[in-house]
């Protein structure tokens, strides 16, 4: 299904537009979540998300389905845009497990759930940026290991190994916090 999100390069432009539209609808929130996690700034995340989709739209005719999956291609663009923004602002990238507006606990949320969120958030903060990015790509953006590998320019097995290490480290950090 993912393969069909972007039409073949040789397809009619209209078909490519429809494919891009499908990719956008299915990935908008995922891209935002990933970018917001990288930038830790909701306003900047919105801006970078919009830039990423615009770049993807402009380059949609250059996408080659034989070279990768469309979501991996889109997240590659989003990652470059986010890293450019980080570089521009001269900020150290920090993965926010809990952006400010999302950290608020709902009234109906139990104390235990709240405590769990805080523990996971603290554990995430203890990871190095690259590990936090892996966690964000997997659990915030919902990418498969293969897609993560394509976004980061790694082999699939290498991406899986790194992800496993990051999850193990996160779990240990969570257990330590409890």
Partner 1 sequence: MEPFRDNDELAIALRSLRPAPRAAFAAELDARVDAEFPSPVKSAATPLSRWAAKLRTAQPRRLVLPAGGVALAAIAAVTVVVAASEPGSSPSTHRLRPTHGSVQFESAPGVVKAPRHAAKASEAAVGTSAEAAAESPPAESPAEPFLANGRARAHTGPFAFPARHRDVERSAELTLGAAPDDVSDDARRVFAVVHAHDGIVLSSSIRESDNAEIAARFSLLIPAAKVGDALDALSSIDEVRSRHQATADVTAPTVGLGERLRDSRAKVEGLLSQLAAADTDAERAAAEVELRAEHNHAAALRSRLSALQRRTNLSKVQVLIETRDRAGSQGGAWGPGAALGDAGHILGIAAGVALVALAVLGPLALLAWLAWLARRSWLRRRRERALG
Residues that bind partner 1 (CB under 8 A): 9, 17, 21, 24, 28-29, 32-33, 36-38, 42, 45-46, 49-50, 53-54, 57-59, 61-62, 64, 80, 83-84, 86-87, 92-93, 96-99, 102, 112, 115-117, 119-121, 124, 128-130, 133, 135, 139-140, 167, 170-171, 174-175, 178
**Token pair 């940026």 is at which residue?**
129
For the bound state, the minimum distance from the C-beta of residue 170 to partner 1, rounded and expressed in Å, comes to 7
Let me know: does 78 contact 35? Beta carbons within 8 Å: yes
Please state, in angstroms and rounded to a whole number, the distance separating the CA atoms of residues 166 and 162. 6
- Please give the DSSP secondary-structure letter assigned to residue 107: T
Q: Which is nearer to partner 1, 34 or 69 (CB)?
A: 34
Let me know: does 39 contact 47? Beta carbons within 8 Å: no
For the bound state, the minimum distance from the C-beta of residue 115 to partner 1, rounded and expressed in Å, comes to 5
Please state, in angstroms and rounded to a whole number, the distance separating the CA atoms of residues 120 and 97. 8
Closest CA to 39 of 27, 26, 22, 51: 51
For the bound state, the minimum distance from the C-beta of residue 54 to partner 1, rounded and expressed in Å, comes to 5
Q: Which is nearer to partner 1, 4 or 58 (CB)?
A: 58
Q: Which is nearer to partner 1, 96 or 150 (CB)?
A: 96
């Amino acid at each position: 299904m993912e393969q069909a999100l972007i039409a073949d390069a040789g397809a009619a432009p209209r078909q490519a537009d429809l494919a891009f539209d499908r990719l956008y609808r299915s990935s908008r929130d995922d891209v935002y979540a990933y970018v917001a996690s990288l930038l830790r700034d909701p306003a900047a995340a919105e801006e970078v998300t919009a830039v990423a989709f615009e770049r993807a739209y402009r380059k949609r005719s250059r996408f080659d389905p034989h070279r990768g999956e469309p979501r991996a291609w889109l997240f590659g663009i989003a990652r470059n845009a986010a890293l450019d923004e980080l570089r521009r602002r001269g900020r150290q990238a920090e993965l926010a497990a809990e952006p400010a507006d999302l950290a608020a606990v709902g009234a109906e949320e139990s104390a235990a759930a709240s405590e769990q969120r805080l523990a996971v958030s603290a554990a995430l903060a203890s990871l190095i940026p690259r590990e936090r990015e892996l966690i964000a790509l997997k659990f915030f953006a919902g990418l498969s290991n293969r897609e993560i590998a394509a976004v980061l320019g790694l082999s699939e097995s290498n991406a899986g190994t790194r992800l496993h290490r990051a999850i193990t480290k996160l779990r240990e950090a969570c257990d330590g916090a409890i």
